[in-house]
Structure 1
Amino acid sequence: MKKLALLTLFFAARCFASFSATYYVAVDGKDDNPGTLKKPLSTIQRAQSLVNPGDTVYIRGGVYHMKEEQISRQLRGYACVTFLDKSGAPGKYISYLAYPKEKPVFEYSAVKPANFRVAAFYVTGSWIHLKGFEVTGVQVTIKTHTQSECFENHGSHNIYEMLSMHDGMAIGFYLLNGSDNLILNCDAYRNYDDFSENGRGGNTDGFGCHPQPGSKGNVFRGCRAWFNSDDGYDCINAFEATTFENCWAFYNGFDANFKSAGDGNGFKAGGYARRPGSEVPNPVPQNTIQFCLAVGNKANGFYANHHINGSFWYNNSAYRNGVNFNMMNRLRDDVMADVPGYNHKMRNNLGYKGNNEVTMLDAAKCDISHNYFDLNLKATAEDFVSLDEKLLVAPRKSDGNLPDNGFMKLKPNSQFIDKGEDIGFAFKGKAPDLGAFEAGK
């Protein structure tokens, strides 16, 4: 009986230790509180000091006016306000979540450290899940070529979900290191740096993904980027492949009044234009851009950006961009000469009403089939349920997924129905449709 009692106590202790804890952060909280629902903390930074793998931090709604004295760490020229370096574990994420049905907003207009870039959230930990809050007003304080970021990632297996990064000078999301991160259903919009480089606004992207060697498997899914003064999505310095899936990019390269700003590409899926051959990764990564939508971007909707290899372009839709599909590559040698695109694989892509439709593409050196341009099919407005661009900024669904409306969806009698090639994705009818949206799904 004594042994049985000891075993019971042992297993009870094991079970108790495995329970996850829950903490709360609120606008009216205090960091010397215990972090309960009735006595919440005031900062995520303090919450991180208490959590363990499997724990959850709920962030109550309201506006958190961040202050310069809340900067947690300075490194690499960055002033990091919230510095998340504590990791979860496989199957035990540390979660920082908006409290159900509430919207926390972190506002950074007062954080202006001299001679530092600003990172609102600088994440070096892994197995972290951030969901459901907004970051706005992040500042740039350096006059020369520089940048700030709402989120900068260096960890692995992180999930960034239903986050909004808007109305600031900073890049929305920025990845330099870490593998198998998922950026899911996030929005980055109206970000314009009017301070550095004489206010050119030319270094503020919605999403930047520049993984260093070994940082593999990063995916952007269901994200939107619009009115960012440079590009919607940029992987100009990526040493590993990135996947962009079901993402939208529109009006990039303009401010909210359509004043011309930076480069203005929707998906800039390549790079190394200015790097000598000795600094180019070997092998050069091939990015995947699939089921994405690019509308009204100043320069290019889909852009290979002087890449030194081809990429995979599947079932994308482009409308009214400067160029809908620009497949420009460059030679690997130090001459850095631009050439028509080579090694690209393109399937089931659709474009309409670009100032130019497809440029800088060497079809003989690519794997091209079942796209609107090689099928010699020209779209008209009658092919689509709607071309009302107001639908692009419609509210997301309650689960965070993109709005489901008629924009650039095909009418049942469209010439692009069943004109695609089966490349392994689900479809209705005899064959896949062209473009980002399968009719009837």
Structure 2
Amino acid sequence: MADYYLAPDGSDSNAGSSSAPFASLQTLLSALEAGDTGYVRGGTYDESGFADGSDQHGTASAPIRLEAVDGADVVFDFGSGDTGGLRLWKCSHWEVRGFTVRNAPSYGVYVFGDSTDVTVENVTVEYSGGDPGTSGAGFHVRVSANTVLRDCVSRYNYDPSSGGGNADGFAVSQATDTVVEDCVAYGNSDDGFDLWESTGQRLSGCVAHSNGWDLDGNPAGDGNGFKLGGGDVPSGGHLVTRCVAYQNRRRGIHYNTAEVAMEVYNCTAWDNPTNFYFTAGEHVLRNNISSQGTVNIQDPVDDAWNSWTLDVGDPDFASTDPSSSKFLHLTTGSAAVDAGTDVGLDFDGDAPDLGAFETDGGQDVTSNVNPVLKAATPTGDGDLAFTAGTLHYYDGSRWVAPPVSYYDGSQYLTVSEGVQTDAGLVDGFERGDLTPYAGDLGSFNVSTDRAAEGSNALKTAGGRSAWADIRSTEKAIPHGSTFQARVYFTDAADSAILRFGVADQDNWLGAGYNSNESGIQLSESVDGSWTELGTAQMTPVTGEWMTFRVEWGVDDPDQIRIRCFDADGVELGTGTTTTSANQGNTGYGFEYTFQYGGTGPVYFDDLRIV
């Protein structure tokens, strides 16, 4: 049993020890045998082609492990090749955890070829696709047994050769006894979870949303949250519990011609055109909630004890804001509380609640979307309060606290000892890259040479004779908010705009400084038609961080006000306008130009709702 290491400054001619690490993922994988661990140090690794674990076998007591060093931010980027991804072929007893696979043309993580007993935990796959010979799926388990996918995220996968028709978040085909727990799939061009030609799989606590569009927001593949069957061999027989599907392009949970009877218990489908679609087979649905979408159920499907058969028309959710910790949870007065029937899942009260989240006097007792470590702490008045706790371990010389991660609905956030999560922060660019953005990505980068907060800031890359912009693919600023960002000008002729109310490249609102106007500019774009809504005088400050603060629909639903301040809080200018456009959009972005004499660079940082 040995430990091997991979590091950005390593060499494949090294021995792979802690002091002489390898440089490439393939070299590390090839070295591993039963009981060995491959540790990966923080950094981005540019990989070309496939990185394979091939016919390598651990045992139940001595598995082969591949994992990031505790707390390290590890990215394997396969974008330099026409094919590629991480593959485990004909392998057994592997444990893989703690990193990101990005830009894999073929698929992100592929477990295939009669592999058995493989566990993948806390792995994110994003932007797979491009190889016309494969699916472009984020995770693909095929012809393998006893695979576990846990706490994984798969997002923004797209296969252009089929127009987005194959790139699922999680694909399981011709496999047996796969377990998928607490995983999240969103922004994939085909389906979130696809169990094509599979039987007897188990899905629990998973979330699928916003699937079925390409990276520019155009309709693409099937657009199901959960697709549970299909193919030329019998499919179905799955157990699906406490899963959530929302805002997928076509269907939330779809049986997809599965013949083998399956059980779907305590799931919530919201705001899909069709929430549940089961029109054949002796499938059993219990304790499910459908809201803001249709239900298509036909005999012989057994759908007793669901919101649509119990006449619970309005489940009375505590929130329908996906950014809220109470998103799609029930209020204590909901008619869905204690309205279900016992299907063998844990519950409180007289009977199970309907839907994915069980409540007890207003306290959620099942929440697979936002797990947070909490500890009971005395309040000083004889009562107890639940506050964020800290795990410690002994590293041989002292007690230290490893980072604790949880999923906030769109990304994993990490909490370290002595650091509190910042509830208002939208983006501080501490992830170190622009993976959650689309647009003119070549005109921006993330830099450490200047930051308002933390270590990183968004920086303009090079000169630009026209306006350049990027927009978030994780919508986060709703109408009715006051938000702000820190902005740094190098030259008084630089121009920078904050975008909000962004739906896509053609629909957005903008507020910021335009040097061609010698002041503040407010604007909008509706279906690609740009309109200047107003201007106001402002003299920017160079060489220090300014604050651009925007009030969007705060005092009046149609009013937009931007106030700009210098580093000492002195107001530099205020601009106000009104518009009713784009109020239903919650995306945001950043825009700049140097065409009016500016030299840059311009920096943005610390975007937050205040």
TM class by smaller structure: 0.7 to 0.9
Change (3 A) 1:285 1:294: closer
Q: Which residue of 2 aligns with 1:247?
A: 206
Considering fraction of residues, name the structure with more strand.
2
Change (3 A) 1:51 1:122: closer
Residue of structure 1 aligned with 2:62, choices 71, 92, 98: 92
Question: After superposition, what is the alpha-carbon deviation per residue over 1:230-268, rounded to whole angstroms, capped at 9, x for unaligned?
Answer: 000111222x32111110000000134432111100000
Residue of structure 2 aligned with 1:65, choices 31, 39, 46: 46
Change (3 A) 1:61 1:317: same
Structure 1 residue 223 corresponds to structure 2 residue 183: yes
Residue of structure 2 aligned with 1:374, choices 297, 305, 309: 309
CA distance in 1, matches of 2:352, 2:54: 43
Residue of structure 1 aligned with 2:341, choices 398, 415, 421: 421
Superposition deviation, residue 109 in structure 1 = 1.3
* Letter of the structure 1 residue corresponding to residue 97 of structure 2: K
CA distance in 1, matches of 2:88, 2:273: 35
* Letter of the structure 1 residue corresponding to residue 301 of structure 2: C
CA distance in 1, matches of 2:9, 2:217: 39
TM-score, normalization: structure 1?
Answer: 0.77
Matching of residues 168-187 of structure 1 within 5 Å: 168-169=128-129, 170-187=136-153
Q: Which residue of 2 aligns with 1:149?
A: 107
Residue of structure 2 aligned with 1:296, choices 247, 252, 257: 247
Residue of structure 1 aligned with 2:16, choices 25, 28, 35: 35
Residue of structure 2 aligned with 1:269, choices 215, 225, 228: 228
Structure 1 residue 324 corresponds to structure 2 residue 284: no
Q: Which residue of 2 aligns with 1:135?
A: 101
Question: After superposition, what is the alpha-carbon deviation per residue over 1:375-394, rounded to whole angstroms, capped at 9, x for unaligned?
Answer: 111015xx112111234xxx
CA distance in 1, matches of 2:53, 2:143: 15
CA distance in 2, matches of 1:416, 1:360: 20
Superposition deviation, residue 48 in structure 1 = 3.1
Question: After superposition, what is the alpha-carbon deviation per residue over 1:284-330, rounded to whole angstroms, capped at 9, x for unaligned?
Answer: 54112110000000110000012223321100000000100001xxx
Q: Which residue of 2 aligns with 1:438?
A: 358
The answer as to whether partners of 2:236 and 2:258 remain within 8 angstroms in 1 is: no
Q: Which has the larger radius of gyration?
A: 2
CA distance in 2, matches of 1:216, 1:191: 24
* Letter of the structure 1 residue corresponding to residue 171 of structure 2: G
CA distance in 2, matches of 1:38, 1:119: 27
Superposition deviation, residue 84 in structure 1 = 3.7
Question: After superposition, what is the alpha-carbon deviation per residue over 1:320-351, rounded to whole angstroms, capped at 9, x for unaligned?
Answer: 00100001xxxxxxxxxxxx323011110011
Question: After superposition, what is the alpha-carbon deviation per residue over 1:389-430, rounded to whole angstroms, capped at 9, x for unaligned?
Answer: 234xxxxxxxxxxxxx21111111111100111111111111
Identical residues among aligned pairs (%): 32
Structure 1 residue 412 corresponds to structure 2 residue 335: no
* Letter of the structure 1 residue corresponding to residue 168 of structure 2: D
Q: Which residue of 2 aligns with 1:390?
A: 323
CA distance in 1, matches of 2:297, 2:351: 29
Indicate the RMSD between aligned Cα atoms, in angstroms.
1.6
Residue of structure 1 aligned with 2:167, choices 204, 208, 230: 204
Q: Which residue of 1 aligns with 2:237?
A: 286
Superposition deviation, residue 226 in structure 1 = 0.3
**Helix, strand or coil for the counterpart of 1:81?**
strand
Q: Which residue of 2 aligns with 1:352?
A: 291
Superposition deviation, residue 35 in structure 1 = 1.4
CA distance in 2, matches of 1:368, 1:295: 20
Unpaired runs of at least 5, structure 1: 1-19, 72-79, 140-147, 328-339, 392-404
CA distance in 2, matches of 1:352, 1:121: 39
**Helix, strand or coil for the counterpart of 1:109?**
coil
**Helix, strand or coil for the counterpart of 1:45?**
helix
Bigger drift between 104-113 and 93-102 goes to: 104-113
Question: After superposition, what is the alpha-carbon deviation per residue over 1:14-70, rounded to whole angstroms, capped at 9, x for unaligned?
Answer: xxxxxx321111111111212122211112322233333122111011110113xxx
Which structure ranks higher in relative contact order (CA pairs < 8 Å, sequence separation ≥ 6)?
A: 1
**Helix, strand or coil for the counterpart of 1:389?**
coil
**Helix, strand or coil for the counterpart of 1:369?**
coil
Structure 1 residue 309 corresponds to structure 2 residue 260: yes
Question: After superposition, what is the alpha-carbon deviation per residue over 1:81-132, rounded to whole angstroms, capped at 9, x for unaligned?
Answer: 333431110121110001111111011111115xxxx443243211001101
